[in-house]
């Protein structure tokens, strides 16, 4: 993702390091070394940038002894601190909250996230979970307050078909979802779906 004139790359299967590509001088910089501390090795997660920090959510954690790889945890990293003190900070994972609660989203990977910089709200939609049984897609939408560490599930009668590996951006008080793949019915998507946030706000408040 792009943040502060840099392109950041993190993780991927058995990788847990983070790199930054400086767009001004076209050079790479290792932001964080590979380590089991913090989010660890993972893929299918999302990252956004806010308040000079890098925020990570969800994804599949990689490891031979990990039974259910999908996660619903939140971490942040300040890339501007001295490298010796640069560590991932754990925010929460909904531990103790029963799945299906409106207080914290269920685990997922290959979802999409978008940030409203004006309100410090991160939006998460869709995703995939593949436990021991068949994989299933998510069709829920969540709002995360980066300042207060608080989740809120949003509901609307105009949800896109459940999907994963899609793209999503925030613009002008709306989320725009493009593409992705669904399990039931199994299909690929090639449309753009607009999800105005004004309707959610009216329904939820």
Q: pLDDT at position 67, please?
A: 59
Q: pLDDT at position 68, please?
A: 61
Q: pLDDT at position 203, please?
A: 42
- How confident is the prediction along the chain (205 residues), in pLDDT tens digits per residue? 888 789 999 998 888 999 999 999 999 999 998 887 889 889 999 999 999 999 999 999 877 666 568 899 999 999 989 988 899 999 999 876 777 677 899 999 999 999 999 999 999 999 998 876 688 899 999 999 999 999 999 886 677 889 999 999 999 999 999 999 999 889 999 999 988 887 664 444 3
What span, in angstroms and rounded, lies between the C-alpha atoms of 53 and 76?
6
Give the CB-side neighbour count of residue 55, counting CA atoms within 13 A.
23
Q: pLDDT at position 64, please?
A: 66
**Does 185 sit behind a cis peptide bond, omega within 30 degrees of 0 on the bond before it?**
yes
Between the CA of residue 104 and those of 54, 73, 108, 115, 189, what are the distances in Å?
A: 20, 10, 12, 18, 28
Between the CA of residue 169 and those of 1, 83, 88, 163, 178, what are the distances in Å?
A: 12, 31, 25, 16, 9
What span, in angstroms and rounded, lies between the C-alpha atoms of 99 and 72?
11
Q: pLDDT at position 111, please?
A: 97
Element counts in the chain: helices (H) and strands (E): 1, 20
pTM, 2 dp = 0.91
């Amino acid at each position: 993702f792009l943040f502060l004139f840099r392109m950041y790359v993190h993780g991927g299967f058995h990788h847990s390091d983070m790199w930054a590509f400086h767009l001004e001088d076209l050079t790479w910089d290792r932001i964080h070394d590979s380590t089991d501390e913090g989010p660890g090795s993972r893929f299918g997660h999302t990252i956004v940038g806010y308040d000079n920090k890098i925020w990570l959510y969800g994804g599949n954690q990689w490891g031979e002894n990990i039974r259910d790889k999908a996660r619903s945890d939140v971490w942040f990293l300040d890339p501007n601190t001295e490298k010796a003190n640069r560590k991932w900070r754990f925010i929460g994972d909904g531990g103790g909250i029963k799945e299906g609660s409106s207080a914290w989203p269920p685990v997922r990977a290959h979802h999409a996230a978008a940030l409203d910089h004006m309100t410090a709200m991160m939006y998460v939609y869709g995703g995939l979970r593949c436990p021991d049984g068949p994989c299933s897609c998510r069709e829920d939408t969540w709002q995360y307050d980066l300042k207060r560490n608080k989740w809120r599930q949003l509901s609307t009668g105009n949800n896109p078909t459940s999907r994963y590996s899609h793209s999503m951006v925030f613009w002008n008080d709306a989320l725009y979802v493009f593409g992705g793949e669904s399990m039931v019915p199994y299909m690929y998507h090639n449309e753009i779906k607009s999800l105005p946030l004004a309707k959610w706000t009216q329904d939820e408040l």
